Amino acid sequence: MTAPSPVVVRGEVDRETSPTLQACLLGQRQQPGARALLVDLGAVTFLDARRAERAQTRGVDLGRASGIVRLINTSGGGVLCLAGDVSAEVVADFRRRHGREPHVVDAVDAGSVTGLSPDAVDLVLDHLDAAALRVRKIRVRRSPVVERAMAGSTQRG
């Protein structure tokens, strides 16, 4: 069996464009014989993580677990994006795909996180620590859940 052809997304995914993207992805999933959907976000210049979370809850499977962790390359630099309930399983899957070392990112978007496991807190702190070691300040968008989890964690480095 051959891998599915990717759906290539370009530009911004926000309030205006996400309904169109969702309809496209749902249409692709409903094609006869469709078993998997591969989405290439490499040309996305902005991704509102809340839109990704809503797409997932409306039937577009962006991952097996209820939360997601993704590395997204945009024209403004790399973004570590977390959304939904980011469990230890979600973090383990991310680390299997991308390795244990923190990635160079320009931002962390955790603004739509609804749950954050201790492993997910460690993942975020690892990326913040790596940026600090490189004397880089990165933008961080945090949901109230993330604010509480980060306040309760021991800040490192």
Q: Which domains does the chain have, with CATH numbers?
A: 7-152 (3.30.750)
Residue from 113, 67, 61 nearest 93 by CA: 67
**What pLDDT does residue 124 have?**
94
> Phi-psi category of 84—alpha, beta or left, where left has phi over 0 and alpha has psi -120 to 50?
left
**What pLDDT does residue 24 have?**
74
Q: What is the mean pLDDT of each run of 10 residues along the chain (157 residues)?
A: 64 76 71 67 70 51 63 80 89 91 90 89 93 88 88 60
**What pLDDT does residue 125 have?**
93
**What pLDDT does residue 121 have?**
94
Radius of gyration of the chain (CA): 16
